[in-house]
Amino acid sequence: MELVIQQGDLAFAVGKAFAAVSSKSPMPLLSCVLLEADKNGLRVTGTDLEITTAVTVPGATKTPGRAAVSARHLNEVVRKMPRGPLQVGFSGEQLEIKYGEGRGWSRFPIQDPSDFPRVPELKAETKITLEAPALSRLVARSAYAASTDATRPQLSGVLVHGSADRLQLVATDGHRLARAGRKGSFAGMAKDGVIVPSRALGAVSRIADEATSPIEIEIAGSRNQASFTTRVGEYRVQVLARLLQGPYPNYEQVIPKNNPRELTVNRQDLLEAVDIVASHADNVTRQVRFAVNPDKLGVSSATELGAGEHEINAAYEGEAMDIGYNANYLIEMLKSIPTESVRFRLNTALAAGVVEPVGSLPEADEDLLCLIMPLRLPDAAG
């Protein structure tokens, strides 16, 4: 392998591929990135077998070739090299990178690239295209609610499903739920949807923030694979994910249809109140108390760590009530809602509450609904 490539191009490719590399794998090759030089430039691939990121960047290839190199080491060194052209090739049994017009060089041990996990060739059964900022928003408004419980792997992903008039991303861990939607023609997506690992969508979202083209989403359900491809300037970036197996819960059944009590508050005021009071909350339950009254909302917590209370203005219709919530869940949910005010639709102190933005989202063709389960207060009746 012999090629000339700009330092910025190589650093970008290695950095993005490195993000997919496992830090704990017992397989040495999974701690590597694969470099493949051909007439099209350089492709750098990293994988943990569940998520694969492949980045193709420009380069002048003199001799095609492949090398598997320690991802962490290569990423650390390349990003410190001075900007300008780099000469990449082999020196004996090592990869060598010369920089600074011959003033410096670095060498890296290599492993047999033929043993590197093969990037799957996706035979898509479904294809849709979505603007990168839209996908980034949908992920940010839903993926935080996915589970981290290894015993329920399907809940560690986000359900992505579409129809003739909308696309929806849904995540839940059984204690909270987030559903973010966008209008449009997405009939190509299976109605029942696919479950994409939230980690994979996180990687896609980070790339979407830099993307200069729409994101092409391809699904090969029969092979349990999904691909997200976009461009960042001259770079082609592809994230492949192994889909999670269902069944996914029938989330529509758990969304209350008739919660008669409505509590409306300024989102930033509530976020500030919960954040302050949560400093006194139990480290395990993270419980804070809502004291809901017609003109105000009191947020409080009292443990051996201390106690605190914070009142904010509120509009409320219904009888006064006290409700317990997990503060971390509230904070993540409130951060995901982009409107000035939010509305809680409540029933009883132990029933699921629906939380929605007040008014339209900044994007008129998008919508958002959240659900949060309350915690039983220590002094609750029954």
Q: Is the pLDDT of residue 354 over 50?
A: yes
301 with 194, same domain? no
What is the number of alpha carbons within 13 Å of residue 331 lying toward its C-beta? Answer: 14
Please indicate whether residue 152 or residue 9 has the higher confidence score (pLDDT): 9
Instruction: Give bridge partners of residue 89 from the DSSP assignment.
Output: 2, 96
pTM greater than the 0.85 cutoff: yes
211 with 290, same domain? no
Which residues, at least 6 apart from 377, have a Cβ–Cβ distance to it below 8 Å? 287, 289, 322, 323, 324, 349
Q: Among the three residues 221, 252, 283, which one is the final residue of a domain in this structure?
A: 252
42 with 72, same domain? yes
Q: Is the pLDDT of residue 363 over 50?
A: yes
Whole-number average pLDDT of the chain: 93
Say how many domains are in the chain: 3
Is residue 32 within 8 A of residue 111, CB to CB? The reply is yes
Residue type, 349: A
High-pLDDT (> 90) share of the chain, %: 84
Mean pLDDT, rounded, for 223-238? 95
Domain that holds residue 167: 126-252
Cα separation, 329 vs 286, whole angstroms: 9
**378 is a domain residue:** no
| pLDDT on residue 380 | 61
Q: Tens digits of per-residue pLDDT, 198-221?
A: 999 999 999 999 999 999 999 987
Which of 68-82, 288-302, 367-381 shows the lowest mean pLDDT across its residues?
A: 367-381
Q: Closest by alpha carbon to 178, among 18, 11, 330, 72?
A: 330
150 with 191, same domain? yes
Q: Closest by alpha carbon to 240, among 36, 41, 46, 33?
A: 46
171 with 274, same domain? no
Between vectors from CA 265 to CA 264 and to CA 271, what angle results, nearest 5°?
140
Q: What is the residue whose two structure tokens read 């994007």?
A: 363
Q: Tens digits of per-residue pLDDT, 166-187?
A: 999 999 999 999 999 999 988 7
Cα separation, 10 vs 42, whole angstroms: 8
CATH code, domain with 313: 3.10.150.10
| pLDDT on residue 102 | 84
53 with 135, same domain? no
| pLDDT on residue 193 | 87
Confidence tier at 252 by pLDDT (50, 70, 90)? very high
Q: Is the pLDDT of residue 163 over 90?
A: no
Is residue 349 within 8 A of residue 380, CB to CB? The reply is yes
Q: Which helix (H) or strand (E) holds 140?
A: helix 132-140
| pLDDT on residue 28 | 83
Q: Which two tokens stand for residue 191?
A: 């109605």
146 with 217, same domain? yes
Per-residue burial over 274-313, b if 16 or more Cβ lie within 10 Å, else e, is: bbebbebbeeeebbbbbebeeeebbbbbbeeeeebbbebe
Q: Which helix (H) or strand (E) holds 242?
A: strand 235-242
Residue ranges of the alpha helices (H) in 263-305?
267-277
Cα separation, 200 vs 47, whole angstroms: 11
Q: Is the pLDDT of residue 164 over 90?
A: no
242 with 144, same domain? yes
**111 is a domain residue:** yes
Q: Is 128 left (phi over 0), alpha (psi -120 to 50) or beta?
A: beta
| pLDDT on residue 70 | 95
Q: Tens digits of per-residue pLDDT, 34-54?
A: 999 999 999 999 999 999 999
Mean pLDDT, rounded, for 218-234? 91
| pLDDT on residue 382 | 41
